[in-house]
Amino acid sequence: MIYTSPLPMSAWLPLVLLFAKPPIPDPALHKIDVHIAGPLAMVEVWRAVEANVRTAGAQQVGTFFDLNLPEGASLLDWEVSDQGAATRLAPLSEVEANAGLAAALKMRRLSLPTPAEEGTDFRVHVTPIADGERAILHYRFSALAGCKDGRLVLHMPDSQEENPAAAEVTVIIEPLPDGVPLAEASLAGKPAELRAPARKAVMRGTVPARPAWEIGWSFVNPSGSLPGTAVAAAARVPGVSAAGGRARAVPQYALAGLFCRADRAAPQPPPGRVLLLVDRSRSVGQGGLSAERALAREVIEALPPSVAFDAILFGGTAEPVFALPRMPTREALDGFTNAADPNRLENGTDVAGALARAHVLLDGNSGTEPTWVVLVTDGALPASQTFERMQTALASTPGQVPKVLVLLVRQHGDDEVPASAVAEYTRFARKFGGIVRVVAPASPRETAQGLLAAMAKGGDLLDLRLEGGKMSDALPPGQGATLALTTRARLPREKRVRISARGLHGEVQGEVLPALVKREWIDALLDSHAGRRRAWSGATGGMAVAVLPGPAVAKKPSDGIVRGRMDPAVLRNALALAFMPRARACYVSRRVAKAGDAYLRGRLKLELTIERGELQDAVVRQSTLDNPDIENCVRNAAWAVEYPRPEHRDAPTIANLNLVFQPRTGPEARPDAAASDREIELILGPLTITNDFTDLLENKPAGR
């Protein structure tokens, strides 16, 4: 018999740990922590996932789900807790993450699922090493808060999963450095109980599984010059200064800001007079002019019947419709509609000239009620039409400062109004205050009523900026604007950042003390704004996980309209029918000063730049005529032609015309050496060809 002494408990412990199973995650686990500082929110999510193989059609696929983030949010990192250990997923490029996913699927002989729908932010692939593996996914993302009805909000979108689970949410709203107290806060529609004056809030609750939900809060608005709430956050990033010729480290900060405009303002009175400026240039197009005049008419009809109006139609020139301002009777409105005929378009877009004509009509108006200048155009702004020229043209008279409404209208299917044109019009209107809007051509009546309601609430805040960085061109009442940028200025803890804008009542300025946050909160947002797409991949003992961005959204309209270049045959026919007779007239009417001019022949290459049906430039690239008069005449004739307008396209069209000039009859035979021939040549030449030969018959000098 063999006796063994009992082992101590410490000797059995490794065996117990070896055969003990790790705790199985609760499949319903879904926890969200939200930490808010100024305009930024750091969101952490924990959720359980079970990896299995299932049949999709005729294929075997692993577990996957789609993930949508709040608008403007950016993922920071991912972690997977499996079998009691945490594994951090490596940030990779899309190509590398796809390669890792393909290897994991090949090992399990699985297929890729159907692609994610357009608009999906991320797709998470969980490939099991063995069926039934469970783990906890932990990920973080940062987001800029938004604005809704004057409140700051963080909107969490609908869940895209097949079987989503409700989440336990904890929200912490940190106090502002300025010490401004909270007015109210809510989680998923349930208000929080705040003790006044509350500068910090902690909310806990359960949010629904599938529908979208929001976190909302607002601050007590101090009696300042800003018509709303401004918050900012700053994170220190490394910076280098080369001042004095020697590089040295300096404090540099990344700055994020949010301005949420209030929707409460003293009602503004209606205008005493309205002056319509309607663009009828060829870039507008017939459909665009119809949309412009419909909106302009609805604006007049939405005003009180005591408001007089006048109208100017402009393209290359500006033409008043009425001799004097008219009351908005049906006869006057019909007269304006008939004058804005879509069949009478002009080449050129001289906005400054139209504003100068408007200044003449407004000069001498001594009324105490405000005057509105309503500029309705398509936003095709030539380079010569700068905001300085427009502001100078509409220089206000003493005691009379008009308010400017810039309405940018394009017919359905056209390219969007260029951002550069919107910015230029915003800088122009900034001096006067008013509204700058890109409006849809549909529902002109509802659009006009909305414009008047916005003016009654104080109009737009124009050119809203935070420390020199643009937050918004035009900010309507009750809406917000966000910004993430890098500033090289020193930003000590006590420094305030400046916010500025222009409204109906003049300059709006204020200062905000930014909250200091970790650098990672803003870095991800800067990468997202730069268009960088992120992906992650990694594997644990029980599963492989790949996080891939959704399909790239093509920057093209989804209205089903085919866009492309102008058909060369269309352009060639238009030039042959309209331009060639003018070019021929330049050649036929040339001045004949010597015998060789009568038989002048040569080639001329003319380059035309056409944009939205308007001629932007005409340049003579080559010429063998050696005749500046004909060359200038041909170039000037190009501006009198109506060019076809490419539908739904703003890109310029370059047309090269190769013109051949030669007389119908051949060159005159060389005269012989007889003296009589030379004598006749001296007597008959040189002659000036004219349409009226009576001066020659009556022995009168030409041109007298």
Q: What is the CATH number of the domain that holds 189?
A: 2.60.40
Q: Please tell me the distance from the alpha carbon of residue 236 to that of residue 387, in angstroms, as a whole number.
A: 37
What is the total count of domains within the chain?
3
Residue 495: inside a domain, yes or no?
no
Domain range holding 618?
A: 568-684
What was the pLDDT predicted at 55? Answer: 86
DSSP 397-461: BTTB--EEEEEEE--TTPPPPPHHHHHHHHHHHHTT-EEEEEE-SS-HHHHHHHHHHHHHTT-BE
Asked whether 288 and 371 are in contact (CB, 8 A), the reply is no
Parallel, antiparallel or unpaired: strands 515-516 and 228-241: parallel
The pLDDT assigned to 202 comes to 93
Q: CA gyration radius for the chain?
A: 36
Query: Which residue blocks in 530-652 are alpha helix, DSSP H?
Result: 568-574, 580-588, 628-637
- Which neighbouring-strand residues pair with 480? 260
Separation CA 418–CA 612 (nearest Å): 13
Q: Are 466 and 499 within 8 A, CB to CB?
A: yes
Q: Is residue 638 part of a domain?
A: yes
Asked if 215 and 358 sit in the same domain, the reply is no
Q: Could you give the residue ranges of the DSSP H alpha helices within 477-623?
A: 519-529, 568-574, 580-588
Answer yes or no: is 630 within a domain. Answer: yes
Residues 293 and 342 grouped into a single domain: yes
- Quick one: 197 and 50 in the same domain? yes
* 469 located within any domain: no
Which pLDDT belongs to residue 678?
A: 47
Could you tell me if 38 and 114 lie in one domain? yes
Q: 278: domain CATH number?
A: 3.40.50.410
For residue 4, tell me if it sits in a domain.
Answer: no
In the numeric block, the tokens 């063999």 are attached to 2
Backbone angles phi, psi at 676, to 5 degrees: -65, -40
Residue 213 tokens, joined? 């939900």
63 assigned to some structural domain: yes
For 683, phi then psi, to 5°, come to -70, -40
Identify whether residues 313 and 446 lie together within a single domain. Answer: yes
Domain boundary among 403, 426, 456: 456
Q: Last residue of a domain, which of 400, 422, 456?
A: 456
In a domain, 490, yes or no: no
Tell which residue, 560, 630, 557, has the closest CA to residue 600: 630
The two beta strands, 434-439 and 403-409, are parallel
In the prediction, which pLDDT does 657 show? 80
Taking 70 as the pLDDT cut, the residues of the chain under it are 1-28, 222-224, 239-251, 264-266, 364-368, 396-400, 488-494, 553-574, 645-651, 665-704
pTM equals 0.74
Together in a domain, 96 and 134: yes
Q: Label residues 545-559 b or e (16+ Cβ within 10 Å = b).
A: bbbbbbeeeeeeeee
Residues 615 and 675 in one domain: yes
Residues 156 and 196 in one domain: yes
Tokens (6 digits) for 113: 């699922």
40-51, strands of its sheet edge to edge: 85-88, 74-82, 133-144, 40-51, 30-37, 167-173, 201-207
Q: Which pLDDT belongs to residue 577?
A: 72
Last residue of a domain, one of 456, 479, 501: 456
CA torsion, ordered 289, 291, 297, 298, to nearest 10 deg: -170
Judgement on whether residues 86 and 212 belong to the same structural domain of the protein: yes
pLDDT of residue 557: 47
Provide the pLDDT for residue 20. Answer: 40
Give the pLDDT score at 195: 81
Q: Which of 232, 194, 224, 215 is nearest to 487 (CA)?
A: 232
653/614 Cα distance (integer angstroms): 10
My answer on whether 301 and 435 are in the same domain is yes
Give bridge partners of residue 35 from the DSSP assignment: 42, 172
On whether residue 267 sits in a domain, the answer given is no
Q: Indicate if 287 and 208 belong to the same structural domain.
A: no
Beta bridge partners of 543: 128
Check whether residue 185 and residue 112 sit in a common domain.
yes
- How far apart are the C-alpha atoms of 96 and 360, rounded to whole Å? 66
pLDDT value, residue 398: 55
Residue 538 φ/ψ, nearest 5 degrees: 180, 175
